[in-house]
């Protein structure tokens, strides 16, 4: 699981500082201007400019004066209920059967030897549910209005006092209700599938040390070892992402069901800085390929990555200090390809006087590398070996540093701020799981909005294709980004158009001998490119709303992120409502 820096923004930070609100507002503005121009052109072709302008103004006016204020909840519900009935009577619930069959197959095919079954089961189930819901949203939403128009049932609808807004809202509401019902069923079934699929316990294989340590039997391709304290309580070691609580009851040692595989931990993040080969401050090394997102430290030098944590609440870590790493390795020579690149972690106080022993690790790429250290630990005080207490000695006032170095000469370790975090045990898995389903719901909601919108002016199959295209294009937003950040030589569209007849190469500076014109061309281009990049956000990037990793890796989905996704979905809902309104309003239902 790889977190990107933007996922850490709080909701308000995103809304106000990172352009969430501004972007939405600009998009609305650009769409409004484009819509007005398009409407005016079409009306002009039909009625001539003066009459055309009047028509556009009239429709706009009616939107605000009657069609919005005179909406009726009862009518919206009537259409919603109708859509719901229609879907049910078209046997939408067959999809539930599909889901049951699919989940049975999953039960057979998911590899029980996987190194972390939870991290296999959860994403599989969530991803499958996600796709199924998107498909359901797509096919539910795109056919009804075109069918009503083709069957002419629309004649008896629009000759009642029904407003275009109500048709759109009613349809969306109805389809979302049907899909939600399905999603709830899927969610409950998935939950039990996951819980039952992971649930197991072990018997005792052997006991040592007067019954205070031992081995469990092998169940589901793994076994654990454990030690108990004087009170006869303890846990096993972590295998395949889980542990078991072990208790001595009378003479018997009892191993309970597994714990820790279904969690929702709240990660605590720090800020990251780097030092170079000789210990000097730098910004980390680039290794020249892959993402710019991570920076690298060099092996067997003083080059290190230093995370600073501040004001960490000791209450979040009552027994142990858990921390996770998601580092990546870059090899400048192959070396021993079997052994992963190794490194060390050191916890130290801010003044650097107290530090822990070096904790060695080997990089587990593309996985979460989970560690924990005891709160009573060995280390050094002013260079002298000492027994330390984490929160009194190292983390005074909850603030401390974590230093990561790479041990292998000539190899590099890559990291970004989010690649090392403390893992507080908080939050319940069920609630996190529900949040994951809310993410799926939001994606389905967006698809339904677009599907219904397209179906107001396209036939069913074409609306399906259009909706799919929007989703696919939305996922390739980064491509348009590259196009519009101006990195491409030869300037924007207008400049390119001017260059064409001049046969001026795209590498040379534009020279028309008139700075005003050149400036104007560049200005227009900048405006155009900016508009295009804003317009791009009219296409939803469903991939960004995907959160199954959070659930799978037991990280509590940040509320700020979920709130952001909710807001984005609502934005698309508003956008599609308005577009659908104008199409329904200006469409001849009997044409």
**Residue 410 region by backbone torsions, left for phi larger than 0, else alpha for psi between -120 and 50, else beta:** left
Q: Is 564 in the site for another protein (CB under 8 A)?
A: no
Distance (Å, whole) CA 407 – CA 362: 10
**Tokens read off for 118:** 């939870």
Binding-site size for another protein (CB under 8 A) equals: 35
Residue 434 to residues 124, 194, 550, Cα–Cα distance (Å): 16, 13, 12
Residue 22 makes contact with another protein by CB under 8 A:
no
Task: Tell me how far, at minimum, the Cβ of 203 lies from another protein, in Å.
Answer: 57
Contacts of 137 (CB under 8 A, 6+ apart): 175, 179, 443, 444, 445, 447, 448, 451
* Range in contact with another protein (rule: CB under 8 A) among 43-51, 212-220, 239-247, 402-410: 43-51
What are the Cα distances from residue 433, in Å, to 144, 176, 330, 364, 542?
32, 20, 35, 26, 19
Query: Using CB under 8 A, which of the segments 109-117, 155-163, 307-315, 542-550 binds another protein?
Result: 155-163
Pick the closer one to another protein by CB: 88 or 512: 88
Q: Which of 5, 34, 97, 152 binds another protein (CB under 8 A)?
A: 152
How far is the C-alpha of 402 from the C-alpha of 349, rounded, in Å? 9
Q: Interacting stretch for another protein, rule CB under 8 A, among 73-81, 94-102, 186-194, 253-261?
A: 73-81
CA atoms within 13 Å, Cβ hemisphere of 9: 16
Question: Which one among 120, 136, 157, 368 touches another protein, defined by CB under 8 A?
Answer: 157
Question: CB under 8 A: which stretch of 147-155, 212-220, 459-467, 473-481 binds another protein?
Answer: 147-155
Longest dimension (CA), the chain: 98
**The binder of another protein chosen from 126, 154, 413, 470 (CB under 8 A):** 154
**Rounded Cα gap, residues 84 and 176, in angstroms:** 9
Q: Which listed residue (158, 194, 377, 552) binds another protein by CB under 8 A? A: 158
CB 73 → another protein: shortest distance, Å? 9
**Choice between 14 and 454, CB closer to another protein:** 454
Query: What CA–CA distance (Å, rounded) separates 148 from 155?
Result: 9
Nearest residue (CB) to another protein, 77 versus 285? 77
d(CA 119, CA 220): 16
- Residue 45 beta carbon to another protein: minimum distance, rounded to whole angstroms: 8
Q: Does 66 bind another protein (CB under 8 A)?
A: yes
Query: Which residue lies nearer to another protein by CB, 152 or 362?
Result: 152
User: Smallest gap, in angstroms, from Cβ of residue 134 to another protein?
Assistant: 25
Question: Is the CB of 178 or the CB of 363 nearer to another protein?
Answer: 178
**How far apart are alpha carbons 308 and 395 in whole angstroms?**
11
In angstroms, give the least distance from the CB of 458 to another protein. 12
* 590 binds another protein per the rule CB under 8 A: yes
Contact 299, 406 (CB under 8 A): yes
Q: Is 68 in the site for another protein (CB under 8 A)?
A: no
Indicate whether 77 belongs to the interface with another protein (CB under 8 A): yes
Residue 153 touches another protein, criterion: CB under 8 A: yes
Q: Which is it for the CA torsion 249, 254, 256, 259, positive or negative?
A: positive
Give the nearest distance from C-beta 162 to another protein in angstroms: 5
171 binds another protein (CB under 8 A): no
75 near another protein, judged by CB under 8 A:
yes
The reply to whether 169 sits near another protein by the rule CB under 8 A is no
Q: Which is nearer to another protein, 66 or 101 (CB)?
A: 66
- Segment interacting with another protein (CB under 8 A) among 145-153, 197-205, 209-217, 431-439: 145-153
Q: Does residue 218 interact with another protein by CB under 8 A? A: no
Minimum distance from CB of 467 to another protein (Å)? Answer: 21
Which of 4, 72, 286, 428 is the binder for another protein (CB under 8 A)? Answer: 72
10 Å Cβ neighbour count for 411? 23
Residue 350: CB atoms within 10 A of its CB come to: 16
Cα end-to-end span (Å), the chain: 53
Assign 3-state DSSP to the chain and report helix, strand, coil percentages, each to 5: 50, 20, 30
143 binds another protein (CB under 8 A): no
588 near another protein, rule: CB under 8 A: yes
Give the integer Cα–Cα distance in Å for 117 and 119: 5
Distances from the Cα of 117 to the Cα of 48, 112, 239, 288, 552, angstroms: 67, 7, 10, 35, 10
Question: Which is closer to another protein, CB of 161 or CB of 513?
Answer: 161
Q: Which is nearer to another protein, 55 or 356 (CB)?
A: 55
List of long-range contacts for 358-367, beta carbons under 8 Å, 24+ apart: 360/407, 361/325, 363/327, 363/328, 363/329, 363/413, 364/340, 365/327, 365/328, 365/329, 365/340, 367/115, 367/116, 367/119, 367/326
Would you tell me which residues interact with another protein (CB under 8 A)?
Answer: 45, 47, 51, 54, 66-67, 70, 72, 74-75, 77-78, 81-82, 85-86, 89-90, 151-163, 588-591
């Amino acid at each position: 699981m790889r977190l990107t820096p933007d996922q850490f923004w709080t909701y308000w930070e995103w809304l106000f500082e990172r352009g969430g609100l501004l972007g939405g507002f600009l998009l609305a503005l650009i769409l409004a201007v484009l819509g007005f121009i398009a409407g005016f052109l079409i009306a002009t072709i039909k009625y001539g400019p003066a009459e055309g302008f009047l028509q556009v103004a009239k429709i706009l006016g009616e939107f605000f004066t009657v069609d919005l204020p005179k909406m009726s909840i009862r009518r919206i519900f009537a259409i919603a209920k109708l859509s719901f009935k229609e879907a049910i009577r078209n046997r939408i619930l067959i999809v539930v059967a599909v889901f049951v069959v699919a989940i049975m197959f999953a039960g057979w095919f998911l590899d029980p030897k996987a190194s972390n079954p939870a991290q296999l089961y959860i994403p599989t189930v969530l991803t499958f549910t996600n796709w199924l819901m998107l498909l359901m949203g797509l096919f539910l939403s795109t056919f009804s209005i075109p069918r009503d128009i083709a069957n002419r049932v629309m004649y008896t609808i629009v000759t009642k006092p029904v407003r275009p807004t109500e048709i759109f809202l009613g349809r969306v509401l109805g389809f979302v209700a049907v899909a939600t019902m399905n999603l709830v069923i899927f969610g409950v079934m998935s939950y039990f599938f996951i819980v039952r699929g992971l649930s197991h316990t072990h018997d005792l294989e052997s006991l040592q040390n007067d019954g205070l340590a031992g081995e469990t039997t092998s169940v589901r391709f793994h076994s654990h070892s454990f030690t108990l304290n004087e009170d006869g309580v303890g846990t096993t070691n972590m295998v395949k992402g889980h542990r078991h609580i072990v208790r001595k009851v009378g003479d018997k040692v009892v191993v309970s069901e597994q714990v820790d595989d279904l969690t929702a931990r709240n990660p605590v993040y720090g800020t990251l800085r780097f030092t170079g080969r000789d210990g000097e401050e730098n910004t980390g090394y680039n290794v020249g390929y892959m993402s710019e997102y991570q920076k690298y430290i060099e092996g067997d030098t003083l080059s290190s990555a230093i995370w600073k944590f501040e004001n960490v609440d000791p209450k979040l870590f009552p027994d142990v200090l858990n921390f996770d790493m998601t580092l990546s390795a870059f090899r400048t020579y192959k070396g021993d390809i079997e052994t992963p690149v190794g490194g060390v972690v050191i916890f130290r106080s801010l003044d650097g006087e107290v530090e822990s022993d070096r904790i060695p690790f080997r990089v587990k790429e593309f996985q979460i590398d989970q560690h924990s250290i005891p709160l009573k630990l060995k280390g050094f005080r002013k260079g002298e070996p000492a027994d330390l207490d984490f929160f009194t000695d190292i983390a005074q006032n909850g603030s401390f540093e974590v230093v990561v170095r790479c041990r292998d000469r000539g190899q590099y370790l890559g990291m970004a701020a989010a690649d090392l975090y403390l893992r507080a045990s908080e939050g319940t898995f069920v609630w996190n799981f529900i949040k994951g389903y809310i993410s799926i719901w939001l994606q389905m909601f967006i698809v339904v909005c677009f599907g219904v919108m397209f179906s107001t002016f396209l036939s069913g199959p074409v609306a399906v294709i259009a909706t799919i295209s929007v989703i696919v294009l939305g996922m390739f937003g980064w491509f348009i980004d590259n196009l519009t950040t101006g990195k491409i030589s030869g300037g924007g569209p207008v400049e390119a158009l001017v260059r064409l007849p001049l046969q001026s190469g795209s590498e040379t500076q534009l020279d028309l001998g008139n700075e005003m014109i050149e400036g104007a061309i560049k200005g227009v281009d900048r405006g155009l490119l900016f508009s295009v990049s804003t317009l791009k956000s009219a296409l939803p990037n469903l991939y960004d709303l995907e959160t199954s990793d959070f659930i799978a890796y037991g990280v509590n989905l940040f509320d700020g992120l979920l709130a952001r996704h909710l807001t984005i979905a609502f934005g698309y809902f508003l956008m599609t409502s308005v577009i659908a309104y104008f199409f329904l309003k200006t469409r001849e239902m009997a044409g």
